[in-house]
Structure 1
Amino acid sequence: MQAGGRGFLGIIAVRWSMNGLACPACEGVYIVKNGHAHIGKQRDLCRACRHRFTLNHTRTPISPETVILVDRLLSERLSHCGICRVVGFSWSWFCRHLQTLIKDCATYH
């Protein structure tokens, strides 16, 4: 027995993960591998809350010149998929950019 009468079971209360990972959403420690992202990084899945995540996810910043190019391509009435292919950006970034343009237009009118 340890001091305080807790015994050895008091040590188990510390959160421990076999692979050293913790879920960013719920801080759960039961993490399993869940495939790879499109850029080749390992994806993980929290078994407690079913949250999927990638560790050390880095997003490359987009230059203002490229954003201006996207806006010019939009004014030329090109297809959205075509703009994504030409500029090399993801569809999700393009949709977020469109949402900001729509909000900006709504504030000007």
Structure 2
Amino acid sequence: MPSCPSCESTNVVKNGFIHNGNQNHKCKTCGRQFVEAPKQKLISQVTQDLIDKLLLEKIPLAGIARVCDVSETWLQDYVNCKYESIPRQVKVSSKKKGRLTLQCDEMWSFVGDKGNKQWIWLALDVETREIVGVHVGDRSEQGARALWASLPGIYRQCAVAYTDFWSAYALVFPDKRHKAVGKETGKTSYIERFNCTMRQRVSRLVRKTLSFSKKLENHIGAIWLFVHHDNASLLV
């Protein structure tokens, strides 16, 4: 029986197996768990680049771990760090002053359980199809105000925003910059299409899913990751 790497005690017992099938041990003296001759697996940059691409598809983390042959624990830590580093501000192409047109909508999602609703507020530039405003929060006046604040200044000055008839928009958006319309007009069709794309590409947004977010920060990070990716793809 091996000795404990912490206290060197030989009062050691077998304690199951780790994720790669190697025997795990536990020291009954100090409680340390360990494996004999551990081999640290270095995740290549190629694998990390593949994981970055898979995070933009409708694949749960457990599925990505299986495809890329990494542990779920390592992958969760990697994802936590990645989502934490995602900028929470839109990057859009420069615009000249003049008439701009936006389509805005709010999309339901949840974190942890369906009682913890998190509404995704989005604003889309009709001409360029860029997402130019993002906020995740409740569906109140405060949420609409946060969406308005997230817009680059030129949109707050020059854009006309088409929305549905949700009352929060009228409370925040200036009258001259806001038009409430029904779906039959087609004036919000682009943002509604984007919402469908988000639900199909981001697994945690699918309505019936076991891949829902359990951590708000990661939920927001996944949304921002997809928004940045989609905006960047428009410039190619």
- Band the TM-score falls in, shorter-chain normalisation: 0.5 to 0.7
1:74 is aligned to 2:55: yes
1:65 is aligned to 2:65: no
40-49 or 63-72, larger mean C-alpha shift: 40-49
The amino acid across from 2:67 in the alignment is V
1:24 is aligned to 2:5: yes
For residues 80 and 54 of structure 1, do their structure 2 counterparts lie closer, same or farther at Cα, with a shift above 3 Å needed?
A: same
* Structure 1: tracts of 5 or more residues without a match: 1-18
1:51 is aligned to 2:32: yes
Q: How much does 1:37 deviate?
A: 3.3
Q: TM-score scaled to structure 2, two decimals?
A: 0.33
Q: How much does 1:41 deviate?
A: 2.6
Q: TM-score scaled to structure 1, two decimals?
A: 0.65
Q: 1:6-34 CA distances to partner (integer Å, 9 max, x unpaired)?
A: xxxxxxxxxxxxx451x233443322233
Runs of 4+ in 1 over 4 A off after TM superposition: none
User: Paired residues, what number?
Assistant: 89
Instruction: State the identity %.
Output: 31
Separation in structure 1 between the aligned mates of residue 24 and residue 11 of structure 2, nearest angstrom: 14
Separation in structure 1 between the aligned mates of residue 27 and residue 77 of structure 2, nearest angstrom: 27
* Structure 2: tracts of 5 or more residues without a match: 90-236
Q: Please, what is the CA RMSD of the aligned residues?
A: 2.4
Separation in structure 2 between the aligned mates of residue 67 and residue 50 of structure 1, nearest angstrom: 34
Conserved? CA contact 2:18–2:24, under 8 Å: yes
Separation in structure 1 between the aligned mates of residue 69 and residue 34 of structure 2, nearest angstrom: 23
> Which structure dedicates a bigger proportion of its chain to strand?
2
Separation in structure 2 between the aligned mates of residue 20 and residue 95 of structure 1, nearest angstrom: 31
Structure with greater contact order relative to length (CA < 8 Å, sep ≥ 6): 2
